[in-house]
Amino acid sequence: MWIFKFNIVAFMLLFVWQCNTVALQDVTSDLFGVENYGTVAAFGDFYADKQTDIFIIREQSEVLIFFADSNKPYFKPKVNISKNNLPRGTIITSVVPGDYDGDSQMDVLLTAQSSTKMTTVFIFWGHNQTLDLGGRFTLNMTFADQPLVMDFNGDMIPDIFGVTDQDPLTKVCYLTNRSPECQNALTSPVKMRIPNSNAFIDLNKDFTAGKSVKFKQCFDGNFTRADIMPTESPAVKIVGQSTFVDFDGDGYQDHLLPVCEDAACQRSAIYLAKSGSKEWVPVLSDFQRRDTIWSFVAAKPSQPLTLHHGDYNLDGFPDALVILRNTSGSGQHAFLLENVPCNSASCHSVGRMLRIHWDQSDLGAIQNAVMATFFDIYEDGILDMLVLSQAEGKNDLIIHALKNNFEADAYFVKVMVLSGLCSNDCPEGVKPFGVNQPGPYVMYTTVDSNGDLKNASAGQLSQSAYFSLQLPYTLLGLGRSANFLDHLFVGIPRHPGEMDIRKKEWTAIIPNSQLIVIPYPHNKPRSWSAKLYLTPSNSVLLTAIALIGVCVFILVIIGILHWQEKKADDREKRQEAHRFHFDAM
Ligand SMILES: *[C@@H]1O[C@H](CO)[C@@H](O)[C@H](O)[C@H]1NC(C)=O
Ligand SMILES: *[C@@H]1O[C@H](CO)[C@@H](O)[C@H](O)[C@H]1NC(C)=O
Ligand SMILES: *[C@@H]1O[C@H](CO)[C@@H](O)[C@H](O)[C@H]1NC(C)=O
Ligand SMILES: *[C@@H]1O[C@H](CO)[C@@H](O)[C@H](O)[C@H]1NC(C)=O
Ligand SMILES: *[C@@H]1O[C@H](CO)[C@@H](O)[C@H](O)[C@H]1NC(C)=O
Ligand SMILES: *[C@@H]1O[C@H](CO)[C@@H](O)[C@H](O)[C@H]1NC(C)=O
């Protein structure tokens, strides 16, 4: 009988799972326990175990690295850069993990603001899965704004790019082998907006990241200026941070820009510029919900208007999370913007637009939200959310973790490109994992469920300043098509002036898998290797349970039938014996 019950339980589980789509669930205490405060500043696999760890700033002066763990709480503070490890009075403005010296172990770069408003850069070197806290390195150059971490010379070791205070020239600093070397970066002086939203990404699909400086120019191949995107911002009063995603699924990166139309920021909009087009197209301008008009929050220069992207419903089109405030009241909440087909004339040329999810009560329940981003909590390929809120009388922000219980039959592919400085023979026997590599570019083409050709692309870690909070891998949704992925292309930056494009194509990738690409050696894409990890989803597990249940059930029925037959046989034999007895009489 219990077996029967078990089947019913499995069936009910399946049923409940189906009903529960798009619901969010607060899992903060499972994730952080009582440590759920501070500013989430960056993500990266510091421990080199293929699990993403979280970097959190506390009281603007301490950085804690929370390691992912298999027991609750799933994130535990393990490494602590305290006040004592930094000069007195340092105010930390951002954290950018990466392998700056090229030893395939993650280092941690901090930017700090000094009293002169200049940005200083500190680096703590990583060693043996921890940080060398005593050996702080300070770059002897200060920047006018937070620098961009990018791979300027195409050697797959992150470099630091920014504008210095001495002259308006751009500088790039290399730290290979811990010997710092700074040079002039771009030949012509550029005036950059502060706060900047510089990005290092492939705009023209040549699989080489080019650098983009907002509204001034884009820099191509060997960083010559190329006017791929509009050079002027739309005619608005407040301009937010640029982001680059493949918004319409054509394989090219589009430029998204949140703005306020007026100085008081009462009217907001999000504009998009397609690659190769000089025109700004509004993809969201209706911020009214019943009597309330919502708008972006343009209060603090340290937290500019920002979109955080992620494909939460795995349909192949990136969605976004934003913070909006009630323009007539004081409420401030996080909202999910879903990427949907365009239904008005203004966005016709893009074909897609954003729609605000007004009824996401779990997000609305978080009062005074100040930042919201996507994060894959359980490494299951479904993006969950982290929301930071300001509580009254507290210095630090409160962290809320919301699990996305999205369980439609949608598929994804997760690609992480490593530095490829070594593969199996890394120095000191370290694993090649755990380097946040800026610049690689990932693109797929496949056939969707309607039989149409579909493309999507993404750049890995294209931005680093002002809490861009990008994940150290790319997660591309595939929609409901469970087909093998026909073509997956991965490209990495090349040396300036080099002609050969460094890219490799993989075919027939299984959906719902994680691909870790080791581009070693850099200049021989044929030898690059990829490790494929499958992520069994909940539905697969449930199917397995249900299947085993059914098997057991059938076995039991067979057993019962067998037993009944045996009993009948026995009875027959006994009767026969009886008859024989009679006959004998
Ligand atoms: C980090 O270290 C400092 C000094 O060692 C200590 O005061 C602080 O409490 C530590 N923070 C955490 C969260 O462990
Ligand atoms: C690395 O750290 C572990 C403890 O965390 C220690 O046992 C080991 O000796 C260290 N290895 C090296 C090479 O320092
Ligand atoms: C930084 O240090 C290098 C060598 O250590 C030196 O050559 C350079 O002039 C210094 N730059 C500044 C701006 O002090
Ligand atoms: C996808 O990319 C291929 C090759 O670059 C191109 O031929 C095709 O038109 C693209 N499809 C869409 C829907 O953009
Ligand atoms: C926005 O603020 C006004 C004034 O405080 C209030 O009446 C209204 O209910 C608020 N709207 C929402 C959706 O909370
Ligand atoms: C590099 O830039 C120069 C101009 O500075 C240009 O003439 C040259 O063609 C570029 N080379 C490549 C490979 O793009």
* 539-567 confidence digits (pLDDT tens): 566 777 888 889 999 999 999 999 999 99
Q: 3-class DSSP state for residue 29?
A: helix
Q: Is the CB of 204 under 6 A from ligand 6?
A: no
Read off the amino acid at residue 8. Answer: I
> Which pLDDT score is estimated for 197?
76
Q: State whether the beta carbon of 224 lies less than 6 angstroms from ligand 6.
A: yes
Q: Taking a C-beta distance cutoff of 8 angstroms, is the pair 256, 270 a contact?
A: yes
Residue nearest (by alpha carbon) to ligand 5 atom 1: 329
- Distance from residue 80's CA to the centre of ligand 1 (Å): 6
| Encoded tokens for 269 | 């909009």
Q: How far apart are CA 236 and CA 230, in angstroms?
A: 14
Q: What SS3 class is residue 114?
A: coil
How many Å lie between the centroid of ligand 5 and the Cα of residue 326?
7
Q: Whose CA is nearest to atom 4 of ligand 4?
A: 445
**Distance of CA 124 from the midpoint of ligand 3 (Å):** 19
CB of 111 closer than 8 Å to CB of 93: yes
Between 13 and 464, the more confident residue is: 464
| pLDDT tens, position by position, 457-477 | 999 999 998 899 999 999 998
User: How high is the pLDDT of residue 253?
Assistant: 87
> Ligand nearest 105 Cα, by number?
2
Q: Rounded to the nearest whole angstrom, what is the distance from the C-alpha of residue 426 to the centroid of ligand 3? A: 31
Which range in 215-219, 223-227, 246-250 is most confidently predicted, on average pLDDT? 246-250
- Nearest atom in ligand 4 to the alpha carbon of residue 205 is 5
C-beta separation of 30 from 558 below 8 A: no
Domains and their CATH numbers in the chain: 3-15+23-404 (2.130.10), 411-538 (2.60.40)
Tell me the per-residue pLDDT of 304-361, one tens digit each, with 9 for 90 and over. Answer: 889 999 999 888 899 999 999 998 888 899 999 999 999 988 888 889 999 999 988 8
474 and 415 in contact (C-beta within 8 Å)?
Answer: yes
What separation in Å is there between the alpha carbon of 88 and the centre of ligand 3?
A: 23
Residues forming a β-bridge with 485: 509
Q: What is the pTM of this model?
A: 0.84
Q: What is the CA 143 to chain-centroid distance, rounded?
A: 27
pLDDT category of residue 38 using cuts at 50, 70 and 90: very high
The token pair at 560 is 């019962």
Task: Give me ligand 2 centre to Cα 50, in Å.
Answer: 20
Nearest to 385 by CA among 368, 365, 371: 371
Q: Whose CA is nearest to atom 7 of ligand 3?
A: 181
Q: Is 290 in the pocket of ligand 5 (CB under 6 A)?
A: no
Residue nearest to atom 5 of ligand 6 (CA): 224
Closest residue by CA, ligand 6 atom 4: 224
Cα–ligand 3 centroid distance for 171 (angstroms): 13
Ligand nearest to the CA of 84: 1
494-526 pLDDT per residue, tens: 887 777 788 899 988 888 888 999 998 888 889
Mean pLDDT (the chain) is: 84
Q: Residue 423 C-alpha to ligand 3 middle, in angstroms?
A: 34
Residue 183 beta carbon below 6 angstroms from any ligand 6 atom: no
Rg of the chain over Cα atoms, rounded to whole angstroms, equals: 28
